[in-house]
Structure 1
Amino acid sequence: MDLFEHQARELFERYGVLVPEAQVADTGSSAREAAGKLDADRHGVVVKAQVKTGGRGKAGGVKLAADAAAAEITARQILGMDIKGHTVHKVMLARPVKVDQEYYVSFVLDRAQGCFIAIASAEGGMEIEEVAEARPEAVARVPVDPAEGVTDEKAAEIVAAAALPADVAPVLRKLWQILQSEDALLVEVNPLVRTADGAVVALDGKVTLDDNARFRQARWGEEDEGGDTGGLEAQAAEKGLNYVKLEGEVGVIGNGAGLVMSTLDVVAGCGARPANFLDIGGGASAQVMADGLSVVLGDPSVKSILVNVFGGITACDAVAEGITRALGQIRLTKPLVVRLDGNNAARGREILEANPHPLLEQRTTMDGAAQRAAELATAAAAAA
């Protein structure tokens, strides 16, 4: 479960990481009131969209307002925005700080190595992926043994590897404490800044909690976040679907995590970007297919949908029946490419052929289906 930025900020503050003074608002008038509490008429205020996705600044979801009146206008502009399929229902208003230097620090779980990785750079404030690609030597990656944790010695090792100032080390210790105590899979600060008066402050934060620890952790925001609640991922979770939002244009639905991951790779190899990971598991009933299609169709960035199913315990004819019935329950508005293989695949294809839909096409191979979905997405984007 990803936290909203204002929740991550509250968590940082609780564990002693310095953060800017901030308020949360869900209307223009409450934003003006919040800006007044932050003395915006003297210092201005930063208005930031609260959605569980990146790219807010590029999408116009982060703006500087000169005073409380401007904060109300700005908040009204940002509230209701759609940012990568997430509707903005709240904004965070934060007091600006004078930045002298910007850094990047994070701890993230590396399942392959069976440890956490500290990723740090003296060049924060931008996409760390771009920095790592252009100048990999500027980004330090230091393994952290979960049993040992971030000791004073480990924090000093991370600081030295990333060429960070020595006073960042205590912040690393506190961030690790958050990760460990809150059962987090990711704790990221970008940027971590040194202000003009020498303080080390977290200007932004991202925290992902481990849902497997739900039984022993009080979840953040499930009761009081109202309309957003994580956007499409929350909608899918309510329907019992394993869905992860990505940043592409081809919606992907498959049965089995391995098959879906392979499908994402094939779509990317065809020159398109997958818009999501959606695993319907072993069942493909009409309701499951309808739920899956409705979630994917709810993403405005999706231009085409690829259903890739390998029949096993659930035969392809049952999947085809599910798709046919699902199309009777929902309104298909985007091209749908279906590839069926495995148990009863031929019969499944016959069922779809006998129940044609103007937006549905079939392909017999995964490569062919992915290529066609990519072509349809490209054509739709060009026509938009």
Structure 2
Amino acid sequence: MNIHEYQAKQIFAKYGVATPRGIIANTPEQAARNAEELGGDVWVVKAQIHAGGRGLGGGVKLARSKDEVKQLANEILGMNLVTHQTGPEGKLVQKVYIEEGADIVDELYLGIVLDRAKEMPVIMASTEGGMEIEKVAEESPDKIIKIAVDPAIGFQGFHGRELVFGLGITDKKEQSKFIKLASALYTLYLENDAEMIEINPLIKTASGDFLALDGKMSFDDSALGRHQDIEDMRDISEEDADEREASQYGLSYVSLDGEIGCMVNGAGLAMGTMDTINYMGGTPANFLDVGGSANAQTVAKGFEIILKNPRVKAIFVNIFGGIVRCDRIANGILEATKLTDVNVPVIVRLDGTNAGEAAEILKAANIPNIIVADDLGDGAAKAVAAAKQA
């Protein structure tokens, strides 16, 4: 689950991570009143969407008068903001964050993500604050400091010293402030079951203080039951409607840009299926994991969600029958075609318990648009061929 910048900063405040003062607004008039309440003579008007790169897309602008705050808020609210993370379809801006100006001396990057290979949270820092971290990683990987923190010992002084030395922070007071901030961010990460925290930029002011000028956070959906306060921050208008509907039926669905719909059980097999489709010259239209208990209802709902995408020209069903027998899955697929109008070729590869019986059931049904595959490679090739023929 993702949250907005202003919500991330509310959480930052609970852990002592300093940010500029700001107030959320839904109308240009409210934005102007917020500027009045904040005081000062410089404000930043920030679009609030679940995506990075807002500044480059025209969603973050500086205002030097309350009238300009109102004017910029009017321009940004209701705009379809396109960034490198939204895709070409962009996102509708429904609220803006009015924030006081800051005295910026330097810009840094600070973030925490889970490194699944190391099985530990990794703190990343860089002197290239304000830049896209992906671009920095590609062009100047030596400028990114990565420090894995073993949860068994937690954030220690040596972690902090490695960070400040790597960033070239030499002033003792500034070193102490930065280490305290990094420690607080790590505590926040663990205590809230976060998946990712990113501050870009983290600024240093003329007084040597560090402020989170931006904030981006995502959380483990499976842990939200422990964090009702974070669950309450969910903005469903920012989430893909099909992904949200799929989750209500226990399906893990992510929309992609290709032409071949994928229905698979197990995240690892789903990733392997998409890779094989790409290898065979096709493009997957989605990631869809139906879990370990595929039945007629879940398969039918999967078909329904996949076929909402007008680009889909074929569907590849790749199921491994371990706990669930393949013959039951085959009957479930046939029943699902009665529940949902499946108007594209469906290539089915079933392996595991009773796979032979399942193949016979599908062939005996004699449904023209259901094509039985022998293995993963054969199924992917047939799916790509069917999509191209369509």
TM-score, length-scaled by structure 1: 0.78
> What are the superposed Cα offsets for residues 263-301 of structure 1, whole Å, 9 maximum, x if unpaired?
233234446665543221232222101222344445688
**Deviation for aligned residue 1:73:** 3.4
Matches within 5 A, 1:283-302: 283-297=293-307
Residue 34 of structure 2 is matched in structure 1 by 37
Residue 136 of structure 1 is matched in structure 2 by 141
Distance verdict in 2 for CA 1:248–1:368, change over 3 Å: farther
Q: Which letter maps to 2:24?
A: V
> What are the superposed Cα offsets for residues 66-105 of structure 1, whole Å, 9 maximum, x if unpaired?
4313312321224999945896474332335565433222
Distance verdict in 2 for CA 1:221–1:67, change over 3 Å: same
Q: Which letter maps to 2:367?
A: N
Q: 2 CA distance for matches of 1:157 and 1:62?
A: 35
Residue 184 of structure 1 is matched in structure 2 by 194
Residue 79 of structure 2 is matched in structure 1 by 77
> What are the superposed Cα offsets for residues 204-256 of structure 1, whole Å, 9 maximum, x if unpaired?
3222333454454324244773544665443322211234x375535432112
Larger mean CA deviation between 138-147 and 122-131 belongs to 122-131
Q: 2 CA distance for matches of 1:346 and 1:286?
A: 17
Contact 1:48-1:93 within 8 A present in 2 as well: yes
> What are the superposed Cα offsets for residues 95-119 of structure 1, whole Å, 9 maximum, x if unpaired?
3556543322222223432322112
Matches within 5 A, 1:332-371: 332=342, 337-342=347-352, 343=355, 344-350=357-363, 354-357=366-369, 363-371=373-381
Contact 1:24-1:90 within 8 A present in 2 as well: no
Structure 1 residue ranges without an equivalent (≥5): none
Number of aligned residue pairs: 371
Residue 59 of structure 2 is matched in structure 1 by 62
Q: 1 CA distance for matches of 2:17 and 2:168?
A: 20
Distance verdict in 2 for CA 1:263–1:101, change over 3 Å: farther
Query: Of 94, 100, 104, which residue of structure 1 is paired with 2:98?
Result: 94
Q: 1 CA distance for matches of 2:90 and 2:245?
A: 11
Query: Of 313, 322, 325, which residue of structure 1 is paired with 2:332?
Result: 322
TM-score, length-scaled by structure 2: 0.77
> What are the superposed Cα offsets for residues 301-321 of structure 1, whole Å, 9 maximum, x if unpaired?
877643212234434443344
> What are the superposed Cα offsets for residues 298-356 of structure 1, whole Å, 9 maximum, x if unpaired?
5688776432122344344433443344344445577754433341342254156x223
Q: Percent identity?
A: 34
- Determine whether 1:108 maps to 2:113: yes
- Determine whether 1:156 maps to 2:156: no
Contact 2:224-2:231 within 8 A present in 1 as well: no
Contact 1:248-1:273 within 8 A present in 2 as well: yes
Distance verdict in 2 for CA 1:228–1:252, change over 3 Å: same
> What are the superposed Cα offsets for residues 10-40 of structure 1, whole Å, 9 maximum, x if unpaired?
11122222223333345xxx34413431259
Contact 2:106-2:204 within 8 A present in 1 as well: yes
**Deviation for aligned residue 1:144:** 0.7
Larger mean CA deviation between 362-371 and 113-122 belongs to 362-371
Matches within 5 A, 1:111-260: 111-163=116-168, 166=175, 167-195=177-205, 199-222=209-232, 225=235, 227-228=237-238, 231-243=241-253, 245=254, 248-249=257-258, 251-260=261-270
Structure 2 residue ranges without an equivalent (≥5): 63-67
Q: 2 CA distance for matches of 1:303 and 1:189?
A: 41
Larger mean CA deviation between 200-209 and 136-145 belongs to 200-209
Residue 16 of structure 2 is matched in structure 1 by 16
SS, match of residue 79 in structure 2: helix
Contact 2:25-2:96 within 8 A present in 1 as well: yes
Distance verdict in 2 for CA 1:297–1:7, change over 3 Å: farther
